[in-house]
Chains A and B, each alone.
Chain A
Amino acid sequence: MWAFVTNPVEAGSCGPGVESVEASDATHFKARAKVGIGFINARFNLDGEMVSVTESEVAEVKAHGQAPGSAVDGTATMRLSDGPDGGTTMNWSADVNISGTLASLGARLIEGTANKMIGQTFVCMKTKLEA
């Protein structure tokens, strides 16, 4: 589980709209992601970094991405703990700043879209882990 969430290619490819992920080194990666909010579609080029805050417990993904007229800067924190039935529980939080056209034109739709995308991300992770 820890290996999976800290592997940018494995976990990163589950990110919202991610089309490709390429690891630059053990902790840095580049990704391309297509994000649509309402009628606006943008293809982001993302630079990311996986940070192990506390080995086997807390990991962070920091990402900075740009699309024409838009930008996204964010940090997602994943916290692993022992689950009730021998499994592993993941708690996550994310602090994301969206700037530019996507924020300006899609403001009213961002929260709903973001929740949907995050949900899809974890469904994807679950599927991969169970495979």
Chain B
Amino acid sequence: MADTGLKETPQTTEAVGGMGHSVKRKEDPRFIRGQGEYIDDLVLPGMLWLDIVRSPYAHATIKGIDASEALKIPGVLAVITGADLEKAGLHWMPTLAGDKQMVLPTDTVMYQSQEVCAVVATSRYIAADGVAAVLVDYEPLPVIVDPFKALEPDAFVLRPDRGPDKANNHIWHWESGDRAATDTAMEASEVRVSEDIYIPRIHVASIETCGCIADWNATRGQMTLHMTSQAPHAIRTVLALVSGLPEQNIRVKTHDIGGGFGGKVPVYPGYVLAVVASLTVGKPVKWIEDRSENLQADSFARDYHIHVELGATKAGKITSLKVKTVADHGYTDAAADPSKFPAGLFNVITGSYDFDNAFVEVDGVYTNKPPGGVAYRCSFRVTEAVHAIERMVDILAHDIGKDPAQLRMENFIQPDQFPYKTPTGWSYDSGDYPRALKKALDMIGYDDLRKEQLEKRAKGELMGIGISSFTEIVGAGPSHDFDILGIKMFDSCEIRVHPTGKVLARIGVQTQGQGHETTFAQIIAEELGFPVADIKIEYGDTDTAPYGLGTYASRSTPVAGAATAIAARKIRDKSRKIAAHLLEASEDDLEWTNGKFSVKGSPDKSKTIQEIAFAAYTNHPAGMEAGLEAVDYYDPPNLTFPFGSYICVVDIDRGTGQVTVRRFVAVDDCGNIINPMIVDGQIHGGLTMGFAPSLYEEISYDELGNNLAGTFMDYLLPTAVETPAWETGKTITPSPHHPIGAKGVGESATVGAPPAIANAVVDALWHLGVRNIDIPMTPQKIWAILNEKGVTA
């Protein structure tokens, strides 16, 4: 069944466009023409607007809400408060992580910009006027923004709703690996290096903000929820559980999505409020966030305080790794991690290196901030893990005076060690780490750059070279370990072949820019020989698409892509029976090549897949069901482990502290490739989203809990002007367990890029006594270091 052999060249013709062809994206014509349809483009007859009153305080008691002035405004129809929701038991809702969060507060607000009440009006502008006219009486309370202060014994309890047994701000403790063995190995290590690394809070800042239209039809008893979501089926099920509406009468429909990156996985209070408002007034109700609401109130990523220690021999052979992390989750754990993994897949932190002893522990903590721990093009804490291990490997190399590339080569898991069992329990499927690093070193001309660096340093110029040899962990996930709210993390595809040989396929995952309409068609073209042009891919309508957990964590190709290949093979199996019937031959005597079955030894006796499709409806064998369709729900046997080696060259301006990325080489290995152009695009985008938090982006808070990055003036996204020219390369090491040998690529570059950039900056400054700089490495931060070291120009 599996066809996991190495596919370096396409097996199909360009006209068919199977795997390995850079087929132009089928979705692009509508985007290029400005004819995409996003949620805010949609206007339904009689539609109302909802806008939200938000708290100015990060922590306060609500003493009263006076909506009388708002309700006097012509066009304001209703103001919904927490007290209203409490009557229906809807003031709290579950998070995907099994915690709970407020839809609207009844007595206490927990973060600045939290939803306090909602105004429903006949236009967007009247709704905003209504919001401005609502008077809320607050009594400010003390605020905790620092998770370490939240853990102090005398800290006040942020979430008394958890009951007297949990009268503290500690959410959970999670650990992995062998503590005793690691301690012993660490004690025995000739060299020990340790560091505190902070990965700050960041925000996906997708250009399309979140929003929905809830459309309740009382006569039909039907709720249609148009929304911008990465996981529409999960939303449908959560909505059914929370609202009590029967699930068959809830239809969640996504439209084109202007960026997801994980920020559109959670259920936000705005969605629930729109549903409640529509149920109340019996009309469609639209809620769309503005930019500042998006940046201040949506779920955030990262916010990991990592203490990490690496043990090694004097020669630089790693022996042990110990990690203690405090995870700031804000006032509720709304992460979308699988149930068994509250810290995601953070224990992949042993990285690309072969050693026996590791111990990792993470403590989740509440603070007066919006829900954190969600995603930024990597939801399962792989970015944090890769940053920590790749920084530490560089620090070790510098400390013992060994070239960082050489130290990596000497510690890599070798190709013949796969499948490789890590000390924290993962089974890496396949890899060839030395080959990827060697290719990156050759592409960038590493030895010459090191010579140039020495020459520049002699002249007082600051140049650095940074390497990151990361291992990703994607494709969640196998049902024995992976579920969200109990729902196993399978994914699905349903394929229908029409009589004229055209194909409609529906998938359980959702595209938000990845190009699924093209790549999933290419998988079917590869398996069945239908040209890509004849295959239509649909998704994002829960009334028609098979159930799936959605698109995040680079899981679409590893899970739904596998389901698509398997569903296609089911169709091929039935096609063989039909072909045998048409050719009056035994099934065993048929061979499958290039989209047709032919009789072995008589290649002119053959039936194309199109002829077989027609026969499935017009001349199918007696005893066989008519039609040609199949569905597959794929439960992956293991995760997949893409990898790569990145090398970054930076120059630092001594006068301003400005870091310039001069060159960046990225060699990626994501297994067999479906569409090289799309993979390249994913890597370019991912690199840019790794570059951004390395140098620019950070959501910071003042001591009162005010978000200090609530606009694009303060939350700095790099544009094409700042972004370097990426140089990409690839190696191909197929996954041995995936039906088409693919691994997933959406997040690799976001995970791999930041440590390469951070390592380059520290490399440029190491001789001045700099061991670590936390991202973002802004000019202010670098200038302050240069100034302290007395080397500003």
Contacts and interface: CB of A to CB of B under 8 A. Distances in A.
A104 B707 contact: yes
B281 to A, nearest CB: 24
Contacts of B58: 99
A108 B706 contact: no
Interface stretch (A16-24, A67-75, A81-89, A115-123): A67-75
Interface string A60-80: 000000101111010000000
Contacts of B296: 104
A28 B55 CA distance: 26
Interface string A7-50: 00000000000000000000000000000000000000100000
Given A70-B56, A71-B56, A104 B112 contact: yes
B702 to A, nearest CB: 7
B681 interface: no
B113 interface: yes
Interface string B698-709: 000010101110
Interface stretch (B90-98, B132-140, B182-190, B573-581): B132-140
A104 B57 contact: no
Nearest to B706: A103
Max chain A CB contacts within 10 Å: which of B56, B131, B296, B706? B56
A68 B131 contact: yes
Given A105-B711, A108-B714, A99 B131 contact: no
B706 A104 contact: yes
Interface in A87-106: 97-105
A129 interface: no
Contacts of A71: 56-57, 138, 140
A99 B315 CA distance: 54
Contacts of B138: 66, 71
B744 to A, nearest CB: 36
A107 interface: yes
A107 B702 contact: yes
A45 B55 CA distance: 16
B710 interface: yes
Contacts of B706: 98-100, 103-104, 107
A101 B708 contact: no
A99 B56 contact: yes
Given A68-B132, A97-B704, A100-B112, A105 B57 contact: no
- 4 smallest A-B Cβ distances: which pairs? A100-B56, A68-B132, A104-B710, A103-B706
7 contacts: A69-B54, A98-B704, A99-B704, A100-B55, A100-B57, A103-B702, A105-B711
A89 B404 CA distance: 66
A107 B714 contact: yes
B57 A99 contact: yes
Contacts of B135: 45, 66
Nearest to A71: B56
B714 A69 contact: no
Contact of A104 (B131, B136, B292): B292
Contact of A73 (B54, B113, B140, B710): B140
Nearest to B711: A105
Nearest to B55: A100
A9 to B, nearest CB: 24
A42 to B, nearest CB: 10
Contacts of B131: 68
Interface residues of B, number: 25
Interface string B127-154: 0000111011010100000000000000
Interface of A: 45, 66, 68-71, 73, 97-105, 107-108
B416 to A, nearest CB: 55
Interface string B707-748: 110110010000000000000000000000000000000000
A110 to B, nearest CB: 10
Interface in B78-134: 112-113, 131-133
A54 to B, nearest CB: 27
A70 B704 CA distance: 13
Contacts of B714: 105, 107-108
Nearest to B57: A99
Contacts of A99: 56-58, 112, 140, 704, 706
Given A69-B54, A73-B140, A99-B706, A104 B132 contact: no
Contacts of A68: 53, 131-133
A69 B702 contact: no
A22 to B, nearest CB: 17
Contacts of A104: 112-113, 292, 296, 706-708, 710
Contacts of B133: 68
Nearest to B138: A71
A69 B112 CA distance: 9
B152 to A, nearest CB: 22
Contacts of A105: 292, 710-711, 714
Contacts of A66: 56, 135-136, 138
Nearest to B56: A100
A105 B295 CA distance: 11
Nearest to B292: A105
A107 B58 CA distance: 15
A97 B140 CA distance: 11
Contacts of A102: 56
A104 B58 CA distance: 11
Contacts of B56: 66, 69-71, 99-103
Contacts of B710: 101, 104-105
Contacts of A70: 56
Max chain B CB contacts within 10 Å: which of A71, A73, A104? A104
Contacts of B708: 103-104, 107
A23 B135 CA distance: 21
A69 B56 CA distance: 5
B426 to A, nearest CB: 40
B110 to A, nearest CB: 14
Nearest to B139: A64
A66 B708 CA distance: 19
A107 B292 CA distance: 14
B5 to A, nearest CB: 55
A121 B653 CA distance: 43
B291 to A, nearest CB: 11
Nearest to A100: B56
A104 B293 CA distance: 11
Interface in B238-286: none
Given A99-B112, A105-B711, 10 more contacts: A66-B135, A71-B138, A73-B140, A97-B704, A99-B704, A100-B56, A100-B113, A103-B702, A104-B113, A104-B292
A118 to B, nearest CB: 20
Nearest to B134: A68
A69 B54 CA distance: 6
Contacts of A107: 702, 706, 708, 714
A17 B709 CA distance: 26
Contacts of B707: 104
Contacts of A97: 140, 704
B700 to A, nearest CB: 9
A108 B714 CA distance: 9
A45 B704 CA distance: 21
Contacts of B113: 100, 104
A104 B292 CA distance: 9
Contacts of A98: 704, 706
Max chain B CB contacts within 10 Å: which of A45, A73, A99, A105? A99
A100 B55 CA distance: 7
Nearest to A103: B706
A109 to B, nearest CB: 11
A45 B131 CA distance: 15
Contacts of A45: 135
Contacts of A69: 54, 56
Nearest to B140: A73
A67 B600 CA distance: 81
Contacts of A103: 56, 112, 702, 704, 706, 708
Max chain A CB contacts within 10 Å: which of B55, B140, B702, B706? B706
Interface in B44-82: 53-58
